[in-house]
Amino acid sequence: LGFDTLSAYGTFDFIPGDMLEVGLGLGVTGMSFDGKVTSTDVGTPGSVSFDEDFALPVLAVTGAVNVGPFEFSALLAGMLERLRTLP
């Protein structure tokens, strides 16, 4: 079983500053699954292999705080799920 991911994000600073920065943007996360399942049952021999690739759009938020010569930054990215049901 194999699982790989690759992510790319682009953000824009909505609050640029010398001490504090906050940004919002979009990105994409690509995922790849591959593997093989083999039956151990004598009555039903065989195997199934799979190789699936797909991309997921994500929302990205960045933040940074500058304290003296140090900068502390964070990146949060994820999918938004619609919680409201349609009538």
pLDDT in tens, 11-59: 999 888 888 999 999 999 898 989 888 888 887 778 888 898 988 888 9
> Which among 15, 30, 25, 24 is positioned nearest to 65, based on CA atoms?
15
Task: Tell me what pLDDT residue 80 has.
Answer: 66
Q: Is 84 left (phi over 0), alpha (psi -120 to 50) or beta?
A: beta
**pTM for the model:** 0.64
3-state secondary structure of 76: strand
Instruction: Report the C-alpha gap between 75 and 39 in whole angstroms.
Output: 43
Spatial distance between the Cα atoms of 51 and 54, rounded to a whole number of angstroms: 10
